[in-house]
Amino acid sequence: MASDSTISIDVLRKTINGIFDFIEKEQRGLTEVGLKQNHYWSITDDVLYSMDEPPKQLAVGSLVDDYEFVLSAFKSADQQLPIMFMHIAPLLQALWQAVPNYSSSPDGSEKNAST
């Protein structure tokens, strides 16, 4: 079991897989999402977790470029390395913004929170 300062890979894997399963089921087979934007602001690694002062400079990322990196890793297992998370994270953020959000209703059933 993970403590407050550790992350269980198994918990992340099962939760993410469950979310993808939910999206595919609730969105009637949705397997792709269009990107509404390409470029996004990013904070450089050296200041990402530094809470002493706000970042003075932002970087720019590209979802299209990130997806190209992910496709390369998809096609070649030797590229499936942890550094690939830097490309997956922005894509997951774009995904949650593109797919309708859901929340539990008081009776325990799911409802679309964006309506």
Tokens 């993410």, residue located: 16
CA distance 6 to 12: 12
**8 Å CB contact between 84 and 66:** no
Residue 106 has a pLDDT of: 47
Residue 86 has a pLDDT of: 95
Segment 6-61, tens digit of pLDDT: 999 999 999 999 999 988 888 777 888 888 899 999 998 889 999 998 999 999 99
Helix axes 63-75, 85-98, angle to 10 degrees: 120
Residue 103 has a pLDDT of: 54
Segment 86-103, tens digit of pLDDT: 999 999 999 988 887 765
- Percentage of the chain beyond pLDDT 70 is 85
Which residues in 27-51 are b (16+ Cβ under 10 Å) and which e?
A: eeeeeeeeeeeeeeebeeeeeeeee
CA–CA distances in Å: residue 104 to residues 2, 14, 90, 108: 26, 20, 26, 6
pLDDT at 115 over 50: no
Residue 16 has a pLDDT of: 95
CA distance 100 to 54: 32
Residue 108 has a pLDDT of: 47
Residue 2 has a pLDDT of: 52
